[in-house]
Structure 1
Amino acid sequence: MNVPNILTVSRFLLIPVFLLVFFNGYEIHAYGILLLAGITDVIDGYLARKHHLVTELGSMLDPLADKLMMITVIISLLVAGEIPWLVAAIFFFRDASMIIGSAFFHFRGKKTVPANALGKMTTFMYYLAVLLITFDLPYNVEFFTFVVAFSFLTSIVYMFQFKKIND
């Protein structure tokens, strides 16, 4: 375990904290916890690359921590009635497929596709969509719907990259 991996693990620990804060009526504070998770994601990635601390464990746990945090946030928003069921279902289908597919291929010895600029942009857009929803800003659900659709483009790019590095 190195510092970037410890930061990644901390994101897993922030999930129940987010839930506790969100469901006790402190949605803005919960968004702050989500931002803290996002900041640790940026820092752990930076430290891992800069100091050559990229590990196979970190490469697998980092996107899992991100996905589980975002799934937690989306479930919370869905339960709170902030986003439509259909869009949430499409989001869950895409993310569950990515998690299951990654695990399936990882345990078969396939190489993991590292995060790319398109994936990072998609993550940023999810954070922005949650911000719009949290503060009930105009076009929040429409933007969230756009981001969910855009995430499928990211998935397609990852699939091509996966095929390329594992051929």
Structure 2
Amino acid sequence: MGNSSERATSAEAPPATRSERILTVPNVLSIIRLIGVPVFLYLLLVLKADWWAFALLVLSGVTDWLDGKLARLLGQTSRLGALLDPLVDRLYMVTTLIGFVIRGIIPWWIAALLIGRDLVLTLTLRVYRRRGLPPPDVIYLGKAATFALMAAFPWMLAAQADWPGATGAGAFGYACLGWGCAVYVWTGILYLGKAIAVAREIPVASPR
């Protein structure tokens, strides 16, 4: 989940290098991760099997990193993968936040802040499309913020279990959450500022 959460605002590879293939190793991994979203919610909210939910979050993060590596190593970057991977990342982010609010692990306003940030940035993409421009370049500080948030979630979940390291896991998880939230929102403001500047300075492209 980590780095690819920022891919919604930038293309990872030039469109010309992406194939139309569907059945690739990275795409299979992304589909497996997608199937894991409702399973994670079931474990978290129905069974309250926190260790299993923790394991699924960690596994999702590992496979997210792995599918990006494999796409480059195997030359299997595809248009479907470019859409599917960030979509699954967003789903994990949103479902984890909502699940944590329902369980009382985080306050509702944190989830609203983070989800609202992504919704606003999704709307700004129209500014670029109307001007025939690609999405803005990735702000790498935003990737670091996403990584901090994705690292925070498993540790916050581990803190709910009854084990000797629960207090330490909670302290580490909430520290990552605080740092990640602050930087995530800050980079969202930077992205928004870029979109506003583009809207003011570049006219809308004429329809062909």
Distance 1:70 1:119 in 2: 14
Q: CA deviation at 1:25?
A: 1.1
TM (normalized to structure 2)? 0.65
Structure 1 residues 31 and 98: alpha-carbon distance in aligned structure 2, compared to 1, 3 A threshold: farther
Structure 1 residues 20 and 8: alpha-carbon distance in aligned structure 2, compared to 1, 3 A threshold: same
Match of 1:66 in 2: 89
Match of 1:6 in 2: 28
Distance 2:152 2:75 in 1: 33
Structure 1 residues 28 and 92: alpha-carbon distance in aligned structure 2, compared to 1, 3 A threshold: same
For structure 2, the residue ranges without an aligned partner over 5 or more in a row are 1-21, 160-169, 203-208
Match of 1:150, as an amino acid? Answer: V
Q: Once superposed, what is the RMSD of the aligned Cα atoms?
A: 2.9
Match of 1:147 in 2: 180
Match of 2:15 in 1: none
TM (normalized to structure 1)? 0.79
Q: Find the partner of 2:148 among 122, 125, 150.
A: 125
Residues 94 and 115 of structure 2 are in contact (CA less than 8 Å); yes or no, is this contact kept in structure 1?
yes
Q: CA deviation at 1:113?
A: 5.6
Residues 83 and 141 of structure 1 are in contact (CA less than 8 Å); yes or no, is this contact kept in structure 2?
no
Residues 129 and 144 of structure 1 are in contact (CA less than 8 Å); yes or no, is this contact kept in structure 2?
yes
Distance 1:72 1:25 in 2: 15
Match of 1:66, as an amino acid? Answer: D
Distance 1:28 1:105 in 2: 43
| Larger RCO of the pair (alpha carbons < 8 Å, separation 6+) | 2
Structure 1 residues 50 and 112: alpha-carbon distance in aligned structure 2, compared to 1, 3 A threshold: farther
For structure 1, the residue ranges without an aligned partner over 5 or more in a row are none
Match of 1:77 in 2: 100
Deviations 1:97-124 (A, max 9, x none): 344545x479766535676643442232
Structure 1 residues 154 and 63: alpha-carbon distance in aligned structure 2, compared to 1, 3 A threshold: farther
Q: What is the percent sequence identity of the aligned residues?
A: 31
